[in-house]
Amino acid sequence: MGDLLDKHIVLGISGGIACYKSADLVRRLIEQGATVDVVMTDSACKFVTPVTFQALSGRPVYTDLWDNRAPNNMVHINLTRQADLVLIAPATANLMAKLAQGLADDLLTTLCLASTKPLMIAPAMNREMWQAPSTQRNVSQLRTDGVQILGPGTGEQACGETGDGRMLEPHELVAAVRAHFQPKTMKGLSVLLTAGPTCEPIDPVRVITNRSSGKTGYALAQAAHEAGAQVTLVSGPTGLPCPPGVTRISVQTAQQMHQAVMQHASTSDIFIAVAAVADWRVANASTEKLKKTDGQPPKLEFAINPDILKDVAGMANGPWCVGFAAETTLDPEQAQAKRQRKAVPLLIANLAQQVMDADHTTIHLVDDTGMTAMGTGHKLDIARKLMSEIYKRYRQHQA
Ligand code: CTP
């Protein structure tokens, strides 16, 4: 079961075409273990029928303020009393205007007014409606009132236009809900990470690179964000979406990664180097595509790339540093030697052939007391465990 076990969510659905995505959202929330009570406005019922949401949630769907199924006839009070969170997705411009004004003219707006539970809304509307001064005023009023605004995303819209106003995708909304329920132990801290491979050009069409999917680094970035930290992820090329709430800086080469990290290191509290950085770059890279003219392979010359982790660890007043080592054999002495060479208090060692490209990982912690196994699991689960271990050690170091 997922992260939302025992969590009770009231999902409000207002009338926009993005309603069809809310069906998938319900399914995903339930997959994570949540109990979902769906409340729909009249307009939402014109897009998708309550039957769809009843079938997906396995619970009655509420559409009417005067619903008399509850013995006390106060469905607008009962629903949020049991809830841990109210999520409205999609939230139309009209619904946001009503919430900002405290209007209560249907079940959804009335229960929001009567609720003391956290409220998240996922706006969805045409880009002109989103940019309208009145909508922007309402957004800022809602933020001031403590409402968490999720998105909106940018892209092609149902109206045929392109711009801001798309509802975030269901998986992004679920990520935000999961993040909401994680303990915010790292609030106020700034975490900098590297992830993925670097690509060192041989010529404009060829590169030398390291094998790395970036999954572990991205999972750690997500875990740090969920724990309330401000997260900057300097990433080499990966096919992964940026975890919601994380600032990603995309780079290609080790030198670019080094430069981006150095720009942010002095303002970071913790630095976690997960990237598989290419140790060498091609010193005589060609600006033109190399041709197989005489059947001879090109003679490549190499230069040594900067050691990003070592440079950050060597900074006066730099962040607290964590390194990674993916090895083909796990030798505690070699791992310890690498940790000392990098001058970091903590090194995370794993077996490259076991973890590369995989969704699961097995990690070992290497510190000045030796090497200890931390277990096997899905990369996000292990990342969360590891992030709380990193935070614990960071706090001890600060004390
Ligand atoms: N690292 C780095 N910059 C480099 C090389 C490595 O920041 N130029 C970081 C990695 O992100 C990782 C740690 O250093 O956190 C160890 O990387 P690894 O490749 O295992 O170590 P190397 O120093 O390159 O040693 P070797 O490849 O010889 O094992």
What spacing in Å lies between the alpha carbon of 326 and ligand 1's midpoint? 9
pLDDT at 360: 87
pLDDT at 74: 86
Taking only the tens place, the pLDDT of each residue in 186-200 is: 999 999 999 999 999
**DSSP letter for each residue of 86-134:** EEEEEE-HHHHHHHHHT---SHHHHHHHH--S-EEEEE---HHHHHSHH
Question: Pocket of ligand 1, candidates 200, 258, 307: which has the most ligand atoms within 8 Å of its Cβ, to mutate?
Answer: 307
Please indicate whether residue 366, judged by its CB atom, sits closer than 6 Å to ligand 1. Answer: no
Question: Angle at CA 262, nearest 5°, toward 260 and 268?
Answer: 100
Cβ contact 80:9 at 8 Å: no
Please indicate whether residue 305, judged by its CB atom, sits closer than 6 Å to ligand 1. Answer: yes
What spacing in Å lies between the alpha carbon of 256 and ligand 1's midpoint? 16
3-state secondary structure 388-399: HHHHHHHHHHHC
Cβ contact 166:123 at 8 Å: no
Taking only the tens place, the pLDDT of each residue in 80-109 is: 999 999 999 999 999 999 999 999 999 999
Cβ contact 87:122 at 8 Å: yes
Please indicate whether residue 308, judged by its CB atom, sits closer than 6 Å to ligand 1. Answer: yes
pLDDT at 68: 85
What spacing in Å lies between the alpha carbon of 231 and ligand 1's midpoint? 21
Please indicate whether residue 181, judged by its CB atom, sits closer than 6 Å to ligand 1. Answer: no
Please indicate whether residue 323, judged by its CB atom, sits closer than 6 Å to ligand 1. Answer: yes
Crossing angle (nearest 10°) for helices 133-144 and 93-101 = 50
Domains, the chain, ordered by start:
8-180 (3.40.50.1950), 190-398 (3.40.50.10300)
Sequence-ordered alpha helix ranges (H) in the chain? 19-31, 42-47, 50-57, 75-81, 93-101, 107-114, 127-131, 133-144, 170-181, 215-226, 254-265, 308-313, 332-342, 352-355, 379-398
* Nearest CA owner, ligand 1 atom 12: 324
Residues belonging to the chain: 399
What spacing in Å lies between the alpha carbon of 135 and ligand 1's midpoint? 49
Please indicate whether residue 234, judged by its CB atom, sits closer than 6 Å to ligand 1. Answer: no
| Residue ranges, the chain, pLDDT below 70 | 1
Catalytic sites, residue numbers: 159
Ligand 1 atom nearest the C-alpha of 312 is: 7
What spacing in Å lies between the alpha carbon of 264 and ligand 1's midpoint? 19
Question: Pocket of ligand 1, candidates 277, 304, 363, 386: which has the most ligand atoms within 8 Å of its Cβ, to mutate?
Answer: 277
What spacing in Å lies between the alpha carbon of 366 and ligand 1's midpoint? 15
Question: What are the φ/ψ torsions at residue 97 (nearest 5 degrees)?
Answer: -60, -40
Please indicate whether residue 321, judged by its CB atom, sits closer than 6 Å to ligand 1. Answer: no
Please indicate whether residue 195, judged by its CB atom, sits closer than 6 Å to ligand 1. Answer: no
